Amino acid sequence: MILRLVWENIRFRPLRTLLSILLIGVPVMLILTLVGVSEGFMDDSHRRAQGVGADIFVWPPGHSFTSGNSVNLAEGAVGVLAKQPHVAQAEGVATVSAGTMPWDTLTGIDYPAFKKMSGGFIVREGDESKLFSQPNDIVVTTSLASQHRPSLHPGDKVTLDKHEWTVAAVVEPGIMSNAFVDLRQLQELNGTPRKISQVYLKLDDPANVSAVIDELEALPALEGYSIYSTKQVVELMSTENIPAIKVFVRVIIGIGIFTGLFVVSLSMYMAVLQRTREIGILKSLGATKGFVMSLILWEAVFMGFGGTIAGIALSFGSRAALKYFVAASMPQAIVPIWWPIVCGIALGSALLGALYPGIIAVRHDPIEALAYE
């Protein structure tokens, strides 16, 4: 009986119901989009770190995963580290900011050393044998190429780090960065000759990683340096280890809860006003306060579920939009594990928002309600 009454009321007022569901769905979408972007960025960072092919990452003092990179490490460190026991190859790269996001970077590489360590690029457009053969050559990933309007192809011009480059090739993403140039040219343009940002080490046997890290940390010349294994780097690049992302997610969740409370409360309050005569009739027929309250709460539950479904659907739309406009800067993942969480948030907000209108409804005097116009 209660569910049928709720359904008939919802069906009788489709526009109000649809608007309420959409208004609950928007904060649900915001939560899922933010979580998806943070997870997508972390997954992308993991792939890039693992795609380098290195076993150990070495950064100079002052490095931070959230503050980006600086080109202040003497290039001579590469030769010193290459001579350490069990080190099969050492490669130095320079990384500078190339966009509005901290992770939008332009990476200078020595391509022969880069290819030896990582296996090289998977080229989609262009000639690998001619990479970096000309000044101002740049290699971009398919993600960065599609992010530009129009999309980038070999021979196109693109401005990064206040310099115009010529696209030499478009390659698959997943190694180190989304844009690569010749190390020497980047050092000259940046005014940091013979300086690099970090060093990657490839060992003769990955089983020696812990021993090599201990030996490097014991060297006086490397005091204060950040020395991590690839596994440690991947673990550090998580939302739990970056306080700013954790706080931002919580703020958005708070906004979502507040918006849900406000929207449902307003919607249910208007519904109670519109249904004053209906409530009066129900009470005159013997409906208890609990029966009337349950009608209001069940309607809120319906809108909460509807808002959850709408928010999940909208999150797929936001992912498609981000992939089209900013594929390289803001990759968004779909995180199904968060669906029951946002469902709980939407339902909780809907039920709390319906409490005050429900209290008003149960306090209606049947005689006054029947006389209401």
> Could you list the pLDDT tens digit for every one of the 373 residues in the chain?
666 666 666 676 777 778 878 888 888 888 888 888 888 877 887 788 888 889 999 998 877 655 556 778 889 889 989 999 999 999 999 988 876 554 568 999 999 999 999 999 999 999 988 899 898 999 999 988 988 888 899 999 998 878 899 999 999 998 888 899 999 999 999 889 999 999 999 999 999 999 999 999 998 888 889 899 988 887 776 656 566 666 777 777 777 677 766 776 776 677 666 666 666 677 676 667 777 778 778 888 888 888 899 999 999 999 999 888 887 777 888 999 999 988 988 888 888 877 877 777 777 666 665 555 5
Q: Report the residue count for the chain.
A: 373
Cis peptide leading into residue 14 (ω within 30°):
no
Residue with tokens 């993600």: 143
Report the alpha-carbon distance of residue 221 to residue 78 in Å, rounded.
13
CB 52 within 8 A of CB 228: no
CB 230 within 8 A of CB 236: no
Task: Return the CA Rg of the chain.
Answer: 29
H-run or E-run covering 89: strand 87-97
Report the alpha-carbon distance of residue 69 to residue 198 in Å, rounded.
8
Structure-block tokens of residue 189 = 């343009």
Chain center to CA of 245 = 9
- Within a 10 A sphere around the Cβ of 25, how many other Cβ atoms? 25
Please report, for the chain, the start and end positions of each structural domain, with discontinuous segments joined by +: 2-43+242-370, 61-224
